[in-house]
Structure formats: structure tokens, C-alpha cells
Chains A and B, each alone.
Chain A
């Protein structure tokens, strides 16, 4: 695996930090554990971690210059859980700075490239993790999803990505972006691997006060339950204008496949879908502006050595340390929370959040699942949207509503348009991960896992 990384990562640029010594030590321990018949499920499996996850004694930058030298004194709960399960961690993957972006071009260090076409973006913000999985630079990876940052890059890189229910997976040690929306999720080569990783990282954690007490089902055995008779809603708002023709065609064909498996497709409506983008881009920046207040050049991270007085130190450290998109969102969020604008923006967005959540609650009274495209387009060329924030924000339009309602979602590869991967998204009610995995697995079995590695650019 390390050889593979060394041979191609100069072109893909999926990793910010590689930890070969740690990986070799963990591999040696795994060899030892594998001698015993009760070796854990992930024993010896090389995984990658998005650089938003705190790793003890391993630099954790969150894709930002402001955390360029930050070495956490602790592991995120998910990182400890993976290590307990025997995983080998090979490195920390690239991302949009503070997970703000949809292309990984907002990384404070360098962009990552799509393994299917190196002139295109891998999606984001977990673009490094998705590219690493697609390019076989790890077996699987963890990402984080605030508005689509696991599912959208998974779709654009032709791999599987799951966003669990809010509260299913501990967020302790995940560098906070928007705390009411952030979730950690797996990016894998197939749905079975996704179930195995979900098993390893799910469960209650006393260190995260928003962690759910719910029991963790056996995800892997749930893959094989029958899908015949499942009712799958197709929301008309998600097939409306804005979806690329090629993507629409591939997705509709995939949806036909679902009926072959005995699922019943039902037309539904989620009437407040068109308001999700604005709702998200008020709430997420507002929460981010509060969460990112901690980067002020005092306790950790970049500091401006020439400042006179503590306030100037804070203002200048932040002004130099943060990149353009992060500054944009801090300003947007601070504005939306500021006196005189709070009611018109933040409070109103929270009310519309209620309406969006109700849309899903009502839909799930009559269907078991919802199916949509994951992204309105395939991977776009590097540089195409970087100077147009709104058009960049629109690439998450299919994945934003789920987090607003706190529901889980999964993206599975469902074919190609212009020679580039297309993703099919399923969404389910809270804690509906088992039915998501079941449906995604059934689709994968019918469609056949693409043996298309050779067609990739790398």
C-alpha cells in the first residue's frame, strides 16, 4: 500500500501527511493479533483519515495554514475505535480548509485531483479521502459530512460514501465546523466495506454530548435482508432543472434497476427543497463563525508575531491564517448572527429548517427510502467554479437537505456520464442505516461492482 502511494500520490495528491512508520508498527501488531482466531474485523487493514480528525502525536491541519503545525494531544473517538479494531492508519488526507468547500481546491496547501481524470476535482470537502480510496491508496477512509462532504466526493470519485444519522457516530476529536450538522462517515470501495466500517465507528460516547444512546445493529448481516416490497420515494424536486442531462439519464436507469430487485418506486414531493441551500448557507456559516473563534493565535496554531496588544494579535493571526473561503463564511455567519440581522437571517433559517425536516417526516410516513442523484453533475474541471461561490455551493444541492433534517444518506456508484462516475443517493429516516445499506447493497449486486480500475487515469 505504501509503495502504491509513493508511486502515484505525486499526481493525485490525496495525502497531506503520511505516517509510514506508525503504519508499519501497527501492521506488525496486527500480524501478531492475526495469529489468534478472534482477531478483530479490521485487523491489518490500511485506512486513511481525513485531516479533520484529531490524531495523537500526528499533525492535524484541517487543511488550514492556521493549524499547519498543530499536533493533537489526543485521538478522536473514531480513531481510537479503528485502532481497537486493528486498523492500520497510513496517513491524513487532504480537504477543503475547515471542510468548507466542494472540490478540495480550498485546501490551504494544494488541491487534490480526481483519479478518473487528473484535470478534474475529486469533489469535497473529503476529496483527499475519496481520491485515496478510488486510486487504491488505501482500502477505505473516513471523511466528515456537514452538507455532503462524504457523499459528493464519493460520487465524483466512483466510490461508496455514507453519512450516518446525526449522533450515531461520536464527533469527539472532529475539528468542529457546524456542530448541529457535522457527522463522520466512511468512504469505501463497496457497500460491504461501508457496513464493516460503520460497525467499527458507531455507538454512544460519553465525550460527545450529542451522541445517541441507541443500540448498534449488526450492519453487515443486515446487507442480505430482502429488499422486495421496499417503497422508495423519488422526489420530483431533485430531478428538476439543474441536473445535468447525462447524470439524469444514468440515475433514471439505475432507478429502473431498483424495481428489478422488487422495490416499488413512488413519486413524492419535498416542497421546501429549493430553500435548503439558503437555509444551509445561513446556519452552517453562523455555527462556523462561533466554532472558529477559537483560532486566535493564543492556545495553538498560527500567530502573528508582530502584533501590538492581544486584540491585534487575534485579528492579525486570523487574517493571515485563514484562507479566502473560510473568511467568507466567517463574515457571512457573523453577519447573520449580528444585531439587527439575526431575526431576518439566522432565526428565519432555523424556522425553514423545521419546514425541511417536516417534509422528510411526512415523506417517510409513506416510503421507506428516498432516492436521488448524489450530485447534479459529474466531476468538474479544476478551476471551473473556484471564483464563483454560489455555483460551487450548488454542487451540494442534493446532499444539503438531509443534514438539515439530521437523516442518514449513502452514495453508491451507478454508472458513467462523459466517462466519469455518477453517484446514486439513498436517504432514510433517523437511524435507518440498515435499510440504506440493504438497498445500496441490493443495487450494487444487480449493477455489478464496476471492474473499471484500468480505465482510471492512475
Chain B
């Protein structure tokens, strides 16, 4: 069973607020799921290269040319809070 500290740490890494009830549930469910994954360690993969993607395309480059962009107003229309042409967020640095 996962420690509650691990659940706490991972939720922090994921920037995901969980209620205490959710954390308890997560601990049980993640432990069960990881148990299932133990099957993967039965295989000897020491000589097997990893596959990250399955197509024969690498470094798909294009001309470094300016093209059309989405209209600024349309893009900003989805932002919860804006000021002028900027997206507004709460203070990033806290005052000391």
C-alpha cells in the first residue's frame, strides 16, 4: 500500500488539490492499480530498447517563416481574467 506521504507528494507534483477523502481513496485505488502493473516486471527487458512513438518520423522541421496567427481577441475571449491584451493571474511572487 502506498504511503499517504507519496500520495501527498504526487498530488503536489501534479498541482492537483485533493480533499482528504480523495487522498484516502486515491491511496487505495492507486495501490491496487500499481499491483496490477507488477506483471511488467516479470519480463526481462534489459536488452529491449524503449518505444516512445511508433512512426518513422523524426525532427519534422518547417521553414522558420511567419504565418497567420489566431486573432488575439478570439484567443483572449476564453481567458477567465484579462486586462487589455494580457491574461491576468494572481500574484506569482508573495510579498515578504
Chain A residues close to B by CB (< 8 Å): 69-71, 73-74, 166-167, 180, 206, 209-210, 212, 272, 274-275, 277-279, 281-282, 289, 293, 296-303, 307-316, 318-320, 322, 324, 327-328, 330-332, 334-335, 338, 344-345, 347-355, 357, 389-390, 405-406, 430
Contact = CB atoms under 8 A, between A and B. Distances in A.
Interface string B65-96: 00000110011011111000001011110100
Contacts of A70: 78
B37 A315 contact: no
Nearest to A293: B15
Interface in B18-52: 18-19, 22, 26, 29-30, 32-34, 36-37, 39-41, 43, 45, 48-52
Contacts of A180: 52-54
B16 A330 contact: yes
Q: Interface on chain A toward B: helix, strand, loop, or mixed SS? A: helix
Contacts of A206: 62
B4 interface: no
14 contacts: A180-B53, A277-B36, A282-B40, A289-B14, A303-B81, A310-B90, A310-B91, A315-B17, A334-B13, A348-B41, A351-B50, A355-B45, A389-B29, A430-B55
A381 B61 CA distance: 49
B26 A331 contact: yes
B57 interface: yes
Contacts of A327: 16, 18, 22, 26
Nearest to A298: B89
B90 A279 contact: no
Given A71-B78, A334-B10, A355-B43, A314 B15 contact: yes
A285 B48 CA distance: 22
A369 B6 CA distance: 45
A330 B39 contact: no
A390 B34 CA distance: 11
Given A278-B40, A316-B17, A332-B30, A300 B79 contact: yes
A357 B15 contact: no
A274 B30 CA distance: 20
Given A180-B54, A309-B91, 11 more contacts: A275-B40, A297-B80, A301-B80, A307-B90, A310-B91, A322-B16, A327-B22, A332-B33, A347-B50, A352-B43, A390-B33
A215 B55 CA distance: 15
Contacts of B17: 315-316, 318-320
Nearest to B53: A180
Contacts of B14: 289, 318, 330-331, 334
B89 A167 contact: no
A281 B50 contact: no
